[in-house]
A and B are shown apart, each in its own frame.
Chain A
Amino acid sequence: MSTIVSLPDQATAKLPRKSYLNEEYGIKSWLLTGDHKRIAMLYLMSITFFFVIGGMLAGLIRLELLTPPSDLMATDTYNKVFSMHGIIMIFLFLVPSVPATIGNFLIPLMVGAKDLAFPKINLLSWYLYVIGGIIILAAMVLGGVDTGWTFTTPLSTHYLNTHVVTAAMGIFFAGFSSIFTGLNFIVTVHRMRCPGMTWFRLPLFVWGHYATSIIMILGTPVLAITLVLVALERTINIGVFDPTKGGDPLLFQHLFWFYSHPAVYIMILPGMAVISEVISTFSRKRVFGYTAVAFSSVAIAVFGFLVWEHHMFIMGVSQYSALVFSLLTMLVAVPSAIKIFNWSMTLYKGSITFETPMLYAFGFIGLFTIGGLTGIFLATLGMDIHLTETYFIVAHFHFVMVGGMLMAYLAGIHFWWPKMTGRMYPEGISKVSAIVTFIGFIVTFFPQFLLGYLGMPRRYAAYPPDFQVLNVFSTAGASILGIGYLLPMLYLPWSLIYGKIAGNNPWQATGLEWQIQSPPLTENFTEIPVMDHEAYDYEWLANKTQHEVQTVG
Chain B
Amino acid sequence: MLPGGVDPHAHPAFLRHHFESVAQQREAASFGMWVFLLTEIMFFGGMFAAYLIFRNWYHPAFVAGSNTLDITLGTTNTAVLIFSSFTMAMAVYSAEMRRKGQLILFLLCTIVLGLVFLGIKGVEWHEKYVEHHVPGMGFSIQDFVHPTNPKAIPLAPDMAEKTQIYFSLYFAMTGMHALHMVIGVSLLFFLVALASRGAYTEGHIMPIENFGLYWHFVDIIWIFLFPLLYLISRYR
Contacts and interface: CB of A to CB of B under 8 A. Distances in A.
A217 B46 contact: no
Interface residues of A, number: 42
Contacts of A218: 38-39, 42
B161 A528 contact: no
A245 B46 contact: no
A55 interface: no
Contact of A222 (B16, B36, B43): B43
A246 B136 contact: no
Interface string B186-197: 000000000000
B17 A183 contact: no
Contact of B172 (A115, A190, A192, A238): A238
Interface in A235-263: 236-240, 245-248, 251, 254-255, 258
A238 B136 contact: yes
B135 interface: yes
A232 B176 CA distance: 11
A259 to B, nearest CB: 9
Interface in B6-43: 16-18, 20, 24, 27-28, 31-32, 35-36, 38-40, 42-43
B65 to A, nearest CB: 11
Given A114-B17, A225-B46, A255-B50, A191 B137 contact: no
B86 interface: no
A226 B167 CA distance: 17
A179 B32 CA distance: 12
**Highest count of chain A CB atoms <10 Å: which of B16, B31, B161, B168:** B168
Nearest to B34: A187
A251 B17 CA distance: 47
A255 B53 CA distance: 12
Nearest to B24: A191
B161 A245 contact: yes
B172 A229 contact: yes
Interface string B122-154: 000000000000011100000000000000000
27 contacts: A114-B18, A117-B28, A117-B32, A187-B28, A190-B31, A191-B28, A192-B24, A217-B38, A222-B42, A225-B46, A225-B47, A228-B172, A228-B176, A229-B47, A238-B136, A239-B164, A239-B168, A240-B172, A245-B135, A245-B161, A245-B162, A246-B58, A246-B162, A246-B165, A247-B168, A255-B46, A255-B49
Given A238-B136, A240-B168, 20 more contacts: A118-B32, A183-B36, A187-B31, A218-B38, A221-B39, A222-B45, A228-B172, A228-B176, A229-B47, A236-B136, A237-B135, A245-B164, A245-B165, A246-B164, A248-B53, A248-B54, A251-B50, A255-B50, A523-B17, A528-B20
